[in-house]
Amino acid sequence: MRKLSVTDPPNAVFSALADPTRRAVLDLLRTGSLPAGQIAERFSVSRPAISRHLRLLYRARLVDETRVSRQRIYTLNVAPLQTVDRWLSQYRAFWEMSLKSLKLVVETENAPRARRPKRRSH
């Protein structure tokens, strides 16, 4: 069995998504590209901390970086999220099937029983 590493592309994506600040950066970039300084202004953590988050997002290929003179402009790259979606789809299918089975069991147990004719006493 191969040892998993956080530098493998799918694992790097999951590792990057594990942090709420990095997820917030991705949410921010859904509205469009932004320079690193404007991204940092939106957060209460230090600029160096945001730079580290952006670097990790870049390594996971979740953001693209473009240099314009002295600025670094970051853009969301959704392609790696397709890896996450494919992985999650297996679990989505599992849960959909499980919930359909549960629904059938509950409906069967709660269905009105067929009425039996009353016995006539002689």
- HEC per residue, 39-76: HHHCCCCCHHHHHHHHHHHHHCCCEEEEEECCEEEEEE
In the prediction, which pLDDT does 56 show? 95
Higher local confidence (pLDDT), 60 or 102: 60
User: What pLDDT was estimated at residue 6?
Assistant: 47
The backbone torsions φ and ψ at residue 84, rounded to the nearest 5 degrees and listed phi first, read -65, -45
Average predicted confidence (pLDDT) for the chain: 84
Q: How many domains does the chain have?
A: 1
Higher pLDDT, 60 or 8: 60
Q: Residue 54: inside a domain, yes or no?
A: yes
Backbone φ and ψ for 72, nearest 5 degrees, come out as: -110, 120
> What is the extent of the structural domain holding 45?
9-78
pLDDT top residue among 55 and 113:
55
CA-CA distance, 122 to 108, in Å (whole number)? 35
In a domain, 25, yes or no: yes
Is residue 95 domain-resident? no
pLDDT at 4 over 70: no
Res. 8: pLDDT tops 60 = no
| 59 pLDDT above the threshold of 90 | yes
Question: Can you say how many angstroms the Cα of residue 35 is from the centroid of all Cα atoms in its chain?
Answer: 24
Look at residue 72 and tell me if it is in a domain. yes
pLDDT at residue 88, as a whole number: 82
* 107 domain residue, yes or no: no
- Whether 108 is in a domain gets the answer no
**pLDDT value for 83:** 83
Residue 77 is predicted with a pLDDT of 96
50: domain CATH number is 1.10.10.10
pLDDT (average), residues 35-47? 96
Average pLDDT on 18-25 reads 96
Q: Confirm whether 122 is domain-assigned.
A: no
Q: Is residue 28 part of a domain?
A: yes
DSSP-assigned states of every residue in 87-118: HHHHHHHHHHHHHHHHHHHHHHHHSPPPPPPP
